[in-house]
Amino acid sequence: MPDVKTPIQTGKPVKTKSPIREWFDSILFAVVAATLIRWLFMEAFTIPTPSMERSLMVGDFLFVSKFHYGTRTPKTPLQVPLTHQKIWGTEIPSYLDWIQLPQFRLPGFSSVKNGDVVVFNYPPEDQYPTDLKTNYIKRCIGIGGDVVEVRHRQAFVNGKAFEVPPKSQLTYFIETNRTDLDDAFFRQYEIINDYPNQTYNWQPIEQADSVSKTNKIIGYKINTTAEVIDQFKAMDWVKKITPYDEEPAPTPSAFSPIYGAAQYNWTVDNFGPLTVPKEGATIQINEKTISLYGPVIKKFEGNENVEVTDKAISIGGKPITSYTFKQDYYFMMGDNRHNSLDSRFWGFVPADHIVGKAVFIWMSIDPNPATATGKIRWNRLFNVVR
């Protein structure tokens, strides 16, 4: 056997790393490990808006699973690690779009199901590559092939009533003579206004008084759960509680004008029926299908040189009479049904925009605490997202 000697046995000095090199190696290892974990397994997100209240609250911090649906391979590789669109605390882009790779999804152990709370990239956002579009979170109402409809606030899927999430909110009007209801009162029932973001879950409704020639409070408009409404119904100062007047029709958008409902007379409370595109499903091209699916064919199917008019679609300069979808799509809605910008406004979520499944809340911070000690919502920590 060869005689192998260590550096000490040969008398050679052992090289040691400098403190700076040790710090650099440790930081590099931490960044690489965190990047891999964030890409492959789990990523932390925070809830910035009230569209999912009260299932998810503004200030909730979530872990979102990437391995449920399978993680996506990077589309934009030239990016500062652990960033999304901007370098932390600046307006400097954190990426270069010089290289855009084909995107694939690794195998997962589940697929997106009706009722899942899903994080996805916001489809209408054209200024960013797919994997760097703003992250949204909503509940999946319809998957590819489903027929989605909203009738008088109730969502239906394939003709059956969609199970109402227990903490979902709707808008109600409480008729009462009381004029002293304030933040402290409504906070008892987790009806909280976020004044910095101009989000109002409660507000007084006034009416002109012909006698006094002034406006007086005749009741309160509130966003809350059915459970809280049942509590209010038992209070002797409440005259009447009714669902608030139907919300106005969604605003037309550049993404999909048909959801402005000029042709269909749809609103956020009465919407559809609308079939969600499914991979392999074929539609005939006509004025109705163009208005519903034309933007999808143009923006998300990877087709080149697509022209869409009110009456025809052409791909590569050739008019088409039918079209077969290349991927699945999903219809998403917020649980706070009257305070959510979702698929009723801008359309479907393509499968390649799906980021992951919301799993559990690991921290919850009240952005408008009633007291200095009430900053952390202890009762929400480590709750499973349902």
- 302-315 pLDDT tens trace: 999 999 998 999 99
Residue that finishes a domain, picked among 243, 274, 304: 243
Is residue 60 a part of any domain in this protein?
yes
Beta carbons within 8 Å of 273's beta carbon, 6+ residues apart: 147, 148, 149
Its domain, for residue 178, covers: 170-243
What is the pLDDT at residue 70?
95
What is the pLDDT at residue 62?
95
When the pLDDT of each residue in the chain is averaged and rounded to a whole number, the result is: 87
Model pLDDT for residues 41-97, shown as the tens digit of each residue? 889 999 988 889 889 998 999 999 999 999 999 999 999 988 999 998 899 999 999
Beta bridge partners of 324: 282
Model pLDDT for residues 141-198, shown as the tens digit of each residue? 999 999 999 998 899 999 999 999 988 999 999 999 899 999 999 999 989 887 666 6
Q: Is the pLDDT of residue 9 over 70?
A: no
Question: Taking residues 247-271, what's their average pLDDT?
Answer: 58
The total domain count for the chain is 2
Is residue 259 a part of any domain in this protein?
no
Please count the CA atoms within 13 angstroms of the CA of 107 that sit on its side-chain side. Answer: 1
Is residue 353 a part of any domain in this protein?
yes
Given strand 147-151, what is the order of strands in its sheet? 160-161, 154-157, 147-151, 271-275
The residues that are catalytic are 51, 138
Is residue 123 a part of any domain in this protein?
yes
What is the pLDDT at residue 208?
82
Same domain? For 121 and 223 the reply is: no
Is residue 229 a part of any domain in this protein?
yes
Model pLDDT for residues 291-300, shown as the tens digit of each residue? 889 989 999 9
Is residue 92 a part of any domain in this protein?
yes
Same domain? For 139 and 181 the reply is: no
What is the pLDDT at residue 26?
77
Same domain? For 236 and 123 the reply is: no
Same domain? For 138 and 174 the reply is: no
Q: Is the pLDDT of residue 12 over 80?
A: no
Same domain? For 38 and 96 the reply is: yes
Same domain? For 27 and 135 the reply is: yes
Model pLDDT for residues 324-373, shown as the tens digit of each residue? 999 999 999 999 988 888 998 889 999 999 999 999 999 999 887 878 77
Q: Rounded to an integer, what distance in angstroms lies between the CA atom of residue 266 and that of residue 250?
A: 8
pLDDT band for position 37 (50/70/90)?
confident
Same domain? For 139 and 37 the reply is: yes
Same domain? For 210 and 122 the reply is: no
What is the pLDDT at residue 255?
39
What is the pLDDT at residue 10?
58
On the 0-12 / 13-18 / 19+ scale of CB atoms within 10 A, 71 is buried
pLDDT band for position 15 (50/70/90)?
low
Same domain? For 79 and 123 the reply is: yes
Tokens of 369: 């605490």
Q: Is the pLDDT of residue 3 over 60?
A: no
Is residue 205 a part of any domain in this protein?
yes
pLDDT band for position 260 (50/70/90)?
very low
Same domain? For 110 and 32 the reply is: yes
- Residue 127 or residue 2, greater confidence: 127
pLDDT band for position 246 (50/70/90)?
low
What is the pLDDT at residue 256?
41
Same domain? For 124 and 66 the reply is: yes
What is the pLDDT at residue 48?
87
What is the pLDDT at residue 5?
56
CATH of the domain at 35: 2.10.109.10
Same domain? For 178 and 139 the reply is: no
Task: Indicate the Cα dihedral angle 303, 309, 310, 312, nearest 10°.
Answer: -70
Q: Rounded to an integer, what distance in angstroms lies between the CA atom of residue 211 and that of residue 313?
A: 61
Q: Rounded to an integer, what distance in angstroms lies between the CA atom of residue 87 and that of residue 382?
A: 29
pLDDT band for position 199 (50/70/90)?
confident
Is residue 253 a part of any domain in this protein?
no
Residue that finishes a domain, picked among 201, 227, 243: 243
What is the pLDDT at residue 257?
40
User: Which segments of the chain are extended strands (E)?
Assistant: 42-46, 60-65, 117-121, 135-142, 147-151, 154-157, 160-161, 170-175, 202-209, 214-224, 240-243, 271-275, 282-284, 306-308, 313-315, 318-319, 322-324, 329-333, 349-350, 354-364
- Residue 35 or residue 164, greater confidence: 164
Percent of the chain with pLDDT over 70: 89
Residue that finishes a domain, picked among 243, 273, 293: 243
